[in-house]
A and B are shown apart, each in its own frame.
Chain A
Amino acid sequence: MPEKEKNVTMMKPGEIAIIAGFTDAEISAKLMEMGCLPGAAIRFNFKAPFGDPVCISVLGYELSLRLEEAATISIMN
């Protein structure tokens, strides 16, 4: 088994990463329309008070995602 893949929910505020791929086809179609493309740089901004949703920067704008949505985005540093 390879090491568990990193995803957006594991990022810390201020951290920057590159999108590696997606684990959910349905969500990925929507995420890509919003500019979350494989190879795009994202920055993790902050979490909502109960830890969910989270706010990331992508394509130069701020996008909020639920944890379950963020978890489908695999990243590489």
Chain B
Amino acid sequence: MSSAKPTKIALIGNPNSGKSSLFNFLTGLNQKVGNFPGVTVEKKIGYTQLPDAGSVEVIDLPGVYSIYPRSLDERIVAEALLDDQSPDSPTKVVVVVDATNIKRGLLLLTQIIDLGKPTVLVLNMMDLAAKAGVSYDFIKLSQKLGVPVVPMNARKGEGIEILKKELSKAESSSAQPVFPIWEEAKVPVQKLREQFHLLNDYQAYQFLEQPQSLNFLSKEKQQSIEQLRQQHGYFPGKFQGAETIQRYGYIQDLLNEATLKQADFAWKNFSHKLDKVLTHKVGGYAIFFAVLFLVFQSVFAWASYPMDFIDGLFADFGSWLSVTLPDGALTRLLAEGIIPGLGGIVMFVPQIAILFAFIAILEETGYMARVVFLMDKIMRKFGLNGKSVVPLMSGMACAIPAIMATRTIDNWKERTITIMVTPLMSCSARIPIFTILIALIVPDTKVIGFFNLQGLALMGLYLLGLMAALVSAWVMKKLIKVKERSYLMMELPTYRLPKGSNVLLTLVEKTKSFVFEAGKIILAISVILWVLASYGPGDKLTNAEAYVMQETANMRLTEDGLQDRIAAYKLEHSYAGLIGKTIEPAIKPLGYDWKIGIALITSFAAREVFVGTMATIYSIGSVSEDDQNTIKSRMNQEINPDTGEPRFTPAVGLSLLIFYTFAMQCMSTIAVVYRETKGWKWPLIQLAYMSTLAYVSALVVYQLLK
């Protein structure tokens, strides 16, 4: 029956079992990231060459401790293994077990064996097992379990050839079930097997035990399971504990026979000593903040060079296109809409890559688990979870991958709150706005000898974002009335040196998913905005040149000056300009005029557009990074006609800064929240609360300071 299906190998194992190392070694760069159908849990698929069998598909499933899932990630494993119709249903399973932690890994193995899937056991991290002095009789293990056993060191690729040879053998399972179905469950299991045409007792037993975790079951099937359960006085999870005990009993007997030498844990001494320092009352936090500081320094300092380079490259390409291609709407859409839009995405790649490189290193070494351990208590006070630290940290680069990183949080309420507040963390797209506005209203002087006042202001805005995130989380904790238990129960893995290729593959994968997921939306929006800003009612835009010539006939403008005027005139009379004027009454109390209104509109989809729009409105044609001084001086010269004073008073500048600290202003984030929460409810609430917070705060600031 399975011979018709192409070979599909699933990698399954505990978290920290080295499963990803093995996946990377098997597939190399030949991997892609997709989504499991219906959910946004990422799935990694790759291809590997087997002797005699050619190229076969390999799926890396999320790390789990058992087939009973605890989080969204983990549910995928149960579904892939139990749903024969699933496109991810594997024909072969490789169970990766940490050889220094064999019992816990064998629990999962025995469950997979009982499902009747052809299985190979990989005993990974044999190098550490050797250090621990533990050794096993592999032949005996293999005989007793009825599955091939392959000792490996996946980080170095040792044992990979033997694994491939085992995998290219015919698909059959000679293993005997480990766990006999309970007497009470035999009748309903038999009935379920007949009804649903299941091939295996344990599979049917799982349907009976945890139908609530199996999304692939139709409503009718769920109902008939429910009926069966009532008939037989069966409730979900009734026997889970007893099953675990029975399995561990079997594993203990097995290891009593197959262990040649017991482990001694002296090799962990270094790790224990490190923990004394890294989780110390004072030292632990000091080190964590030093690490954070280092990460952000690198993200901002190192990324600025490639970012400038990319920015320049796209700007040059855009102007080259507009010169080279025949003039027309299509050329301008390409040169002024699509190319800058693409540039806006690619520009963030360096920051995202550096941030994820650091996160990957922190995770690989085992330090991230300690950060969760240190922060859990504090985060819970705000309705968050220790595991929220990673998304919040990532949010300082970009909210999109950060929100995707919340999937490891198993508690629904804590995960939702984390998603809701992550966009308040100041992301890299806010930097250009902050930079120019701060330069405008904060003097470039030093305080207390060496602190740069502008730098302090920037840091203040970051802290403001963080505080807003924590306070909002706390409010939501009070508002969301869901009683669901929250768990930590997390392994603190032994510290290890990070492996370069694993870090590299992680950052390639994350960056790719950012570029493609966010990229699609940013691109679409930039096209819409281009249309809004390039077209308008009447002939004002098509004949802009004539109108401007008329107005400025006796001003003796240079050619550049004239072009700038024309660009500004066009924007003023475009649809975007009209909208800006329409909303002026609403934003006047914040200290903004219709020109700033246009920038608010154009940056609604992506806040980084603000600076570019400002540049156009205050008629400075094409603007590159070096021209910031000119934008600044133009903005400085802008006069408020009502008062005769400069437009950008400290009150207006601060009001804008506060607005951009809190406002959502990012369509891609809305899109990713929609995907992650599977509906419009949460993204709309998020948009509403962040916009309200931004508007009210900016209003208060302006009214107090003006």
Contacts and interface: CB of A to CB of B under 8 A. Distances in A.
The answer to whether A and B come from one shared complex is yes
B374 A46 contact: no
B237 A64 contact: no
Contacts of B103: 35, 59-60
Contacts, number: 106
B244 A29 contact: yes
Contact of A49 (B68, B285, B490): B285
B487 interface: yes
Nearest to B70: A30
Contact of B378 (A26, A38, A50, A64): A50
Contact of B488 (A32, A60, A62, A65): A65
Interface string B214-248: 00000000000000000000000100110011001
Contacts of A27: 485, 487
Interface residues of B, number: 43
Interface in A10-54: 25-35, 37-38, 45-46, 48-53
A37 to B, nearest CB: 6
A61 B68 contact: no
B201 to A, nearest CB: 21
A66 B569 CA distance: 62
Contacts of B485: 26-27
Contacts of A51: 377
A55 interface: yes
B489 A65 contact: yes
B7 interface: no
A65 to B, nearest CB: 6
A48 B279 contact: yes
B490 A63 contact: yes
A36 B396 CA distance: 38
A46 B279 contact: yes
Nearest to A51: B377
A50 B487 contact: no
B376 A52 contact: yes
A48 B68 contact: no
Contacts of B70: 30
B101 A29 contact: no
**Residue in A27, A62, A69 with the greatest tally of chain B CB atoms within 10 Å:** A62
A63 B100 CA distance: 15
Contact of B265 (A35, A46, A49, A60): A60
Given A49-B284, A59-B104, A60-B100, A37 B373 contact: no
A55 B492 contact: yes
A33 B269 CA distance: 26
B491 interface: yes
B491 A33 contact: no
Q: What is the interface residue range for chain A against chain B?
A: 20 to 34
Main secondary structure of the interface of A (DSSP, over half): mixed
Contacts of A49: 279-282, 284-285, 374
A29 B68 contact: yes
Given A48-B279, A49-B285, A33 B487 contact: no
Given A31-B489, A63-B492, A55 B373 contact: yes
Contacts of A52: 376-377
Nearest to B485: A26
Contacts of B276: 46
A1 B11 CA distance: 51
A64 B369 contact: yes
Interface in B480-496: 485, 487-494
A32 B243 CA distance: 10
B571 to A, nearest CB: 54
Contacts of B107: 33, 35
B458 interface: no
A34 B241 contact: no
B275 interface: yes
A27 B485 CA distance: 9
Q: Which of A29, A51, A55, A65 has the most CB of B within 10 A?
A: A29
A53 B68 contact: no
Interface in B248-289: 248, 263, 265, 272, 275-276, 279-282, 284-285
Given A59-B104, A60-B100, A60-B265, A33 B244 contact: yes
A34 B284 contact: no
A31 B68 CA distance: 12
A55 B373 CA distance: 9
B66 interface: yes
A48 to B, nearest CB: 6
A38 B272 CA distance: 26
Given A63-B490, A65-B489, A53 B373 contact: yes
20 contacts: A26-B237, A26-B485, A29-B237, A29-B244, A33-B107, A35-B107, A48-B279, A48-B376, A49-B281, A49-B374, A53-B373, A59-B101, A59-B103, A61-B493, A62-B491, A64-B373, A64-B489, A64-B490, A64-B491, A65-B489
Interface of B: 65-66, 68, 70, 100-101, 103-104, 107, 237, 240-241, 244-245, 248, 263, 265, 272, 275-276, 279-282, 284-285, 369, 372-374, 376-378, 386, 485, 487-494
Given A30-B489, A34-B65, A53-B488, 12 more contacts: A27-B487, A29-B237, A33-B66, A33-B244, A34-B104, A46-B279, A49-B282, A55-B279, A55-B492, A60-B103, A61-B104, A64-B372
3 A-B pairs with least C-beta separation: A62-B492, A32-B244, A49-B281
